[in-house]
Amino acid sequence: MKEIDPRKTTRAYAFEMWMKAPMPMVTFFKTLDVSRLVRLSRKKGLKFNMLMCWCIGQAANQVKEFYTLPVGDKLIQYDTLAVNTIVANKAGEVSSCDIPFSKELSAFNADYLRLTRQVVESCQNHDLTESMVIGTSALAQYDINGAVGMYSGIFNNPFMIWGKYKKRLFRTTLTVSFQFHHTQMDGAHAARFLNLLQEEIKKKFPD
């Protein structure tokens, strides 16, 4: 990771316009068809949340804006991505766990299982400060239509939230919210990311 001059990037105008805005975050909602993820999860014994996180990483990896992030009053460029998940630890509380993104599902799954188990037992957050981290929060037991994340003024990372998936007659759907800092990306970038997320689910896990 390194600091870059925003004036020499495609985010120059956005940096000037949104860095000092009182509320620079934007939230999009999208309903995804996750039928294939649910089937694979059951067939292979893989965690649905892990599969979602991997597909998020796959989609984000194709949008260059994910590799830069406003941090404090600077624009930082990263070489790697990670996907965060919230873990219920053994103390009955929640902890944060960053999973390094890998294009290989088997490698990502191994890291996901190892690191989340470590966080459960230690009750200590696992942070990857050298990577641009995409936050996620899965409220899988609850039927919600959407959620808007808070803006702390400290963390500008993109963040996704979802609840329980909904079973239809021929497909299973999941509504997700995606919050992002307007300095990092524009609405078109965010919409492309969400479309890529749906494409990754269909492309990587054909019927």
Residue 207 predicted with pLDDT over 90: no
Mean of pLDDT values over 38-43:
94
Percentage with pLDDT > 90 across the chain: 89
Which of 96, 101, 111, 26 is closest to 56 using CA atoms? 101
Question: Could you give the domains of the chain?
Answer: 2-11+24-202 (3.30.559.10)
pLDDT tier for residue 6 given thresholds of 50, 70 and 90 = very high
Residues 145, 38: Cα–Cα separation, whole Å = 19
Q: What is the three-class DSSP state of 69?
A: strand
Question: Tell me, what's the pLDDT at 99?
Answer: 98
Q: What is the DSSP letter of 187?
A: H
Q: What is the pLDDT of residues 143-192, one digit of tens each?
A: 988 888 778 878 899 999 999 999 988 899 999 999 999 999 999 999 99
Residues 185, 29: Cα–Cα separation, whole Å = 16
Mean of pLDDT values over 21-39:
95
Residue 204 predicted with pLDDT over 80: no
CB 87 within 8 A of CB 116: yes
Question: Tell me, what's the pLDDT at 197?
Answer: 98
Question: Tell me, what's the pLDDT at 154?
Answer: 82
State which H helix or E strand residue 120 sits in: helix 105-122
Residue 3 predicted with pLDDT over 90: yes
Mean of pLDDT values over 101-108:
97
